[in-house]
Amino acid sequence: LSELEALMERMKRLQEDKEDEEASQEEMATRFEKEKKESLLVISGGISKHFAVLFPAFDDEIVSTDVSRYVEDPGFGYKDFARRGEDHLPTFRAQDYTWENHGFSLVNRLYSDIGHLLDEKFRMVYNLTYNTMATHEDVDTTTLRRALFNYVHCMYGIRYDDYDYGEVNQLLERSLKVYIKTVTCYPERTTKRMYDSYWRQFKHSEKVHVNLLLMEARMQAELLYALRAITRHLT
């Protein structure tokens, strides 16, 4: 099967499995922890040796980009939310502090109407779809879009109790996960070859949508941490 046909087959199989049997809360928690720990494999300074062996094409174009001119703090940048090798990594349970129920109202209180604008932006990017996958039409891409969005939040330690992270592992191949981590956390290291290497049969508009989705997911994750901290301070 081609990359595209294999992905569509996995999406179909996931839907059938979901209709037959749902995973238990314990199983979903275990799958989340597995994905969260795996997200630490991509480290600052480039791709880990493990991934460099699997995907050498990703490593040969990475250049050292000086972004210090754009920030006041030269050391500013993404840092993993936990050290690799730790058994108990911190988890932000989305049910305890969600954008819809908590963040939206607080940010509106702090800056009038900005919550509505942000919410509209999040929804528009998340729901943006032509219902196509490359040459296939009338395809429901909800499962795939949710996997992309939730994987970014997983990298930031955010867990949705009602989501089965086994879907992430089945729909997002390792090479795509490396791309997601690089774009989301180290965008200055992203190369055209990395962009070209995943979902080769997809249209550029579909792949650009992936990038928009990743950026909005990251922004929402950052807002959730910041707004939760403000809420705790106010109370």
Predicted pLDDT of residue 178: 87
Please list the pLDDT of the chain residue by residue as tens digits (235 residues): 688 999 999 999 998 887 777 788 889 988 998 888 888 765 433 444 444 444 454 444 545 556 667 777 767 777 776 665 666 678 999 989 999 999 999 999 999 899 999 999 999 999 999 999 999 999 999 999 999 999 999 999 999 999 999 999 899 988 898 899 999 988 888 888 889 988 999 999 999 999 999 999 999 999 999 999 999 999 8
β-sheet bridge partners, residue 132: 137
How many Cα atoms within 13 Å fall on the side-chain side of residue 219? 13
Predicted pLDDT of residue 90: 80
Query: To which H or E segment does residue 92 belong?
Result: strand 92-93
Q: Whose structure tokens read 């090479």?
A: 175
Q: Token pair for residue 42?
A: 């991509």
| DSSP strands (E only) in 107-210 | 132-133, 136-137, 158-159
Say how far apart CA 181 and CA 133 lie, in whole Å. Answer: 22
Q: Are 198 and 206 in contact (CB under 8 A)?
A: no
Query: Tens of pLDDT along 130-142?
Result: 999 999 999 999 9
Predicted pLDDT of residue 65: 58
Predicted pLDDT of residue 21: 74
Q: Are 125 and 216 in contact (CB under 8 A)?
A: yes
